[in-house]
């Protein structure tokens, strides 16, 4: 029998995660130069369509059907065959229809590859990006979803990831770094955000949607759900203020973009640990997230990596840091389905988390680099110099974000 309260909660959580994709589009669109707003937003929004088609066709099946202890699942649930609309989801205690779980996980699949787009803004052809979007999900995202959340290899090994430190942020962030190394620097590396208020709207939508991203990942309504909700907000807040203080002390002025970037770093870092660590640990995680992500961005600048919107420093390092800190602060006292981290005597669990996230980041980096080289044999990956100078919006899409001649 359907639990209407839990069903409603999962529908709401799914909707919140969906909202994060347009939120990311606004966040990236505001940070882009005026010539590349629509290009980056188009790359984000198109995933809503392409990924849905992939997910319903075979993506869900490869992630959550068969393959116990394996790297990938099978095609038994392709096109959701043999899953009636009123079938109950067993993992949630038979409280709500499986279709809601399918939709919820689909929203994660939609947003994960779009995180990468902020790194190579105004340098990737749309055709090349579409091929990238499809192949990256099949060969990077789907295997890690199955291995961690679908009963695959890492799950049987004892690796935990509450809402996507490994599965979302680490692999996307290090794929972004590989993309930056492959496409090289922008011609104009000094472009400034075209609309900081648009960045603020995007940040607000991301922060709001993240409650569904993290709290919804409990896949039921209980005390852990509320813990994950509060941990999410606390980590984001402490990270935002940490970033603000560090940047203010260095630049002698408080920076609004820095405050918002710090919040996103905190959100990304708490994601793998949200439902496994106590509230006091979320405070520590938030502070460390602001500190580590800020200096990761400084390292990126020093090394000359043109990660335009700091995807590696915020999401990549945030995902890695959060997974490692999960291995430190997790405790079965707050979640009996979790594990005890290093702080609570779980040295073996800490090592599993550390090894898993390092391997995931390395695989995502190397495979993305190889995949981009292969895609370039099919169609050019990097835009021509002329198009980069005029901007993706006009050069590739034939559109402009703003009619500068209008009153």
Residue 28, SS3? helix
Asked whether residue 250 is domain-assigned, the answer is yes
Asked whether residue 307 is domain-assigned, the answer is yes
Asked whether residue 271 is domain-assigned, the answer is yes
Asked whether residue 407 is domain-assigned, the answer is no
pLDDT score, position 402: 87
**Hey, what are 375's tokens?**
């895609």
CB 269 within 8 A of CB 318: yes
pLDDT score, position 407: 42
Total domains in the chain come to: 1
Asked whether residue 402 is domain-assigned, the answer is no
CB 11 within 8 A of CB 100: yes
Asked whether residue 262 is domain-assigned, the answer is yes
Q: Is residue 52 classed exposed, middle or buried when 0-12, 13-18 and 19+ CB atoms within 10 A define those classes?
A: middle
| Nearest residue to 330 (alpha-carbon basis) of 319, 342, 321, 320 | 342
pLDDT score, position 368: 98
Q: What is the pTM of this model?
A: 0.96
CA 108 – CA 316 distance, rounded (Å): 16
pLDDT score, position 92: 58
CA 219 – CA 239 distance, rounded (Å): 26
pLDDT score, position 405: 58
CA 143 – CA 147 distance, rounded (Å): 6
- Ranges in the chain, pLDDT < 70: 91-94, 404-407
Q: What are phi and psi of 133, to 5 degrees?
A: -55, -45
Asked whether residue 404 is domain-assigned, the answer is no
Contacts with 275 (C-beta within 8 Å, 6 or more apart), sequence order: 162, 163, 214, 217, 218, 224, 225, 227, 228, 231, 335, 338
**Hey, what are 298's tokens?**
């400084």
What letter would DSSP give residue 382?
B
CA 403 – CA 320 distance, rounded (Å): 42
Alpha-carbon distances, residue 226 vs 117, 223, 229, 287 (angstroms): 32, 5, 5, 21
**Which CATH number belongs to the domain containing residue 89 in this structure?**
1.10.3430.10
Domain that holds residue 247: 4-397
CA 32 – CA 81 distance, rounded (Å): 42
pLDDT digits (tens, 9 = 90+) for 338-359: 999 999 999 999 999 999 999 9
CA 321 – CA 400 distance, rounded (Å): 39
CB 19 within 8 A of CB 228: no
CA 272 – CA 274 distance, rounded (Å): 6
Count CA atoms within 13 Å of residue 134 on its CB side: 12
CA 288 – CA 240 distance, rounded (Å): 11
Q: What are phi and psi of 187, to 5 degrees?
A: -65, -45
Asked whether residue 315 is domain-assigned, the answer is yes
CB 367 within 8 A of CB 139: yes
| Nearest residue to 99 (alpha-carbon basis) of 112, 114, 84, 78 | 84
């Amino acid at each position: 029998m359907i639990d209407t309260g839990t069903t409603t909660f999962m529908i709401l959580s799914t909707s919140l995660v969906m909202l994060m994709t347009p939120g990311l589009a606004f966040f990236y669109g505001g940070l882009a130069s005026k010539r590349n707003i629509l290009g980056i937003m188009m790359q984000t929004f198109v995933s809503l369509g392409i990924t849905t088609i992939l997910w319903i066709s075979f993506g869900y099946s490869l992630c959550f059907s068969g393959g116990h202890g394996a790297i990938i699942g099978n095609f038994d649930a392709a096109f959701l065959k043999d899953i009636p609309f009123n079938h109950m989801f067993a993992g949630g205690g038979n409280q709500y229809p499986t279709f809601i779980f399918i939709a919820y996980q689909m929203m994660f699949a939609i947003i994960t590859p779009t995180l990468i787009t902020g790194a190579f803004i105004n340098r990737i052809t749309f055709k090349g990006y579409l091929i990238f979007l499809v192949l990256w999900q099949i060969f990077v995202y789907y295997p890690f979803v199955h291995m961690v959340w679908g009963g695959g290899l890492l799950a049987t090994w004892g690796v935990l990831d509450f809402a996507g430190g490994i599965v979302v942020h680490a692999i996307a962030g290090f794929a972004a770094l590989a993309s930056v190394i492959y496409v090289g620097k922008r011609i104009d590396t000094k472009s400034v955000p075209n609309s900081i208020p648009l960045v603020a709207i995007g940040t607000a939508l991301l922060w709001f949607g993240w409650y569904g991203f993290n709290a919804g990942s409990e896949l039921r309504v209980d005390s852990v759900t509320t813990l994950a909700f509060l941990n999410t907000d606390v980590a984001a807040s402490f990270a935002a203020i940490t970033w603000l203080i560090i940047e203010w002390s260095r630049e002698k002025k408080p920076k609004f973009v820095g405050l918002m970037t710090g919040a996103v770093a905190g959100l990304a870092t708490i994601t793998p640990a949200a439902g496994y660590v106590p509230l006091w640990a979320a405070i520590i995680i938030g502070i460390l997230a602001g500190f580590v992500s800020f200096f990761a961005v400084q390292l990126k600048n020093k090394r000359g990596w043109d990660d335009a919107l700091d995807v590696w420093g915020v999401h990549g390092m945030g995902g890695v840091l959060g997974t490692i800190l999960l291995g430190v602060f997790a405790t079965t006292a707050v979640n009996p389905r979790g594990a005890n981290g290093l702080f609570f005597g779980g040295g073996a669990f800490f090592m599993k988390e550390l090894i898993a996230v390092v391997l995931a980041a390395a695989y995502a980096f190397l495979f993305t680099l190889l995949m981009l080289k292969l895609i370039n044999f099919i169609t050019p990956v990097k835009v021509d110099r002329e198009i980069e100078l005029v901007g993706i919006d006009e050069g590739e899409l034939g559109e402009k974000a703003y009619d500068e001649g209008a009153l």
